[in-house]
Structure 1
Amino acid sequence: MQIITAGRTGPNRSVRFGGDPVLDERGRISVLGLAASTTRSVDACGPESATLETAELLGAAGSVVDDELRTLDVGAWTGKSPEEIDPVELGGWFADPDARPHGGESVADFVDRVHAWRTAQAGLADRCVVVAMPVAQALLCRDAGRFFAHEVRPATLYTCDDA
């Protein structure tokens, strides 16, 4: 399975959790550069604004929008920078995949949801999806305990070998 991450947004640049921002100018330019270097057709994308805009810039307007490919729900942390969050809560969230100090989705539940979607796609290894960066991390990790071990970048193509 091919995974394309959405282009950069303002919160990517300023390191903020969640929200539904659109691509910034640099994000659009990066996606257009990726579009010029890949011939992949997009089969599905997540529902976020930046993800939909990325798919459109890649020439995939009208791709199937799959809600199971939505990004991690960080609840009360949405729009906040790491400095605005209690360091004990933030550290606990990074250390324990089942933690949900923000009241949203735990990393474990999120990874399970994304892996269930991937499993349902079995036999479709040639699929290409456009997703938010946390969804790409979930698709690339083997389990929730390794979620944060996968660093991904905006407007980048990844391959998920075990899909």
Structure 2
Amino acid sequence: MTVRVTLVSPAMNAALREARFDGDAPLDRAGERAARAAASAVPGAGLVLSGPSPRCRETAIALGLAARPEPALTGWDLGRWSGRRLDEVGAAEPAAVAAWIGDPSAAPHGGESLRGLVERVGGWLDGVGGEGGADREALSVLAVVEPSVVRAAVVHGLALPLEAFWRLDVAPLALTELSGRSGRWNVRLGRPLTAPQGL
């Protein structure tokens, strides 16, 4: 079975603008306007999901999607760092931040390690592309998910070293497309979700 998984990163909000560890903040007005403007460019899919965070759910709504929240696509749980800015945490806990970036198994914030995030997202991705649906035609899934989930999916899908996670940038309202099946994925990165010209 061939599977196409299209991941859409959420629109901009205050937490993204301020580089905060926070997936629970809602969209701001500019982010909502940008998502509404891009709604006509959203590709079709047989199954539409979203991460459970407010900005993912609100982006899906603004894009005109009737998306079902999927717990496996929750953003990275950064424990007690949630809601804080990266520069604040770096100044207060430089050794903890260095451990977090340098060791994929470290979780000094008390939440989820990078290894745990990639394994969770990778388990979901492999479940979508598993052998259970081999009698079906090509399956298409579209999910609005946090940038950390997009990065984790790419790392898992291409069997990259976990450290590659830190080298992947995900812009707001960008499409990342994975096609194939469990154990064999091709990736198309970072296509902007923009309305066709003339609309």
| TM-score using structure 1 length | 0.91
Q: Are positions 1:147 and 2:165 aligned together?
A: yes
Residue 114 of structure 1 corresponds to which residue in structure 2? 121
CA distance in 2, matches of 1:151, 1:125: 27
CA distance in 2, matches of 1:70, 1:84: 24
RMSD between aligned residues = 1.7
CA distance in 2, matches of 1:136, 1:30: 20
> Which letter does structure 1 place at the counterpart of 2:25?
P
Is the Cα contact below 8 Å between 1:18 and 1:73 reproduced in 2? no
Count of aligned pairs between the two proteins: 162
Is the Cα contact below 8 Å between 2:125 and 2:153 reproduced in 1? yes
> Which letter does structure 1 place at the counterpart of 2:146?
A
- Give 1:75-86 correspondences, 5 Å limit: 75-85=79-89, 86=93
Residue 70 of structure 1 corresponds to which residue in structure 2? 74
Correspondence for 1:93 among 97, 100, 124: 100
Is the Cα contact below 8 Å between 1:34 and 1:156 reproduced in 2? no
CA distance in 1, matches of 2:144, 2:70: 10
Higher alpha-carbon Rg:
2
1:26 Cα deviation after fit: 1.9
1:38 Cα deviation after fit: 2.7
Correspondence for 2:177 among 152, 159, 162: 159
> Which letter does structure 2 place at the counterpart of 1:84?
E
The gaps in structure 1 that reach 5 residues or longer are none
The gaps in structure 2 that reach 5 residues or longer are 131-137, 180-184, 187-199
Which secondary structure does the structure 2 equivalent of 1:43 belong to?
strand
CA distance in 1, matches of 2:43, 2:163: 34
> Which letter does structure 2 place at the counterpart of 1:20?
D
Residue 48 of structure 1 corresponds to which residue in structure 2? 53
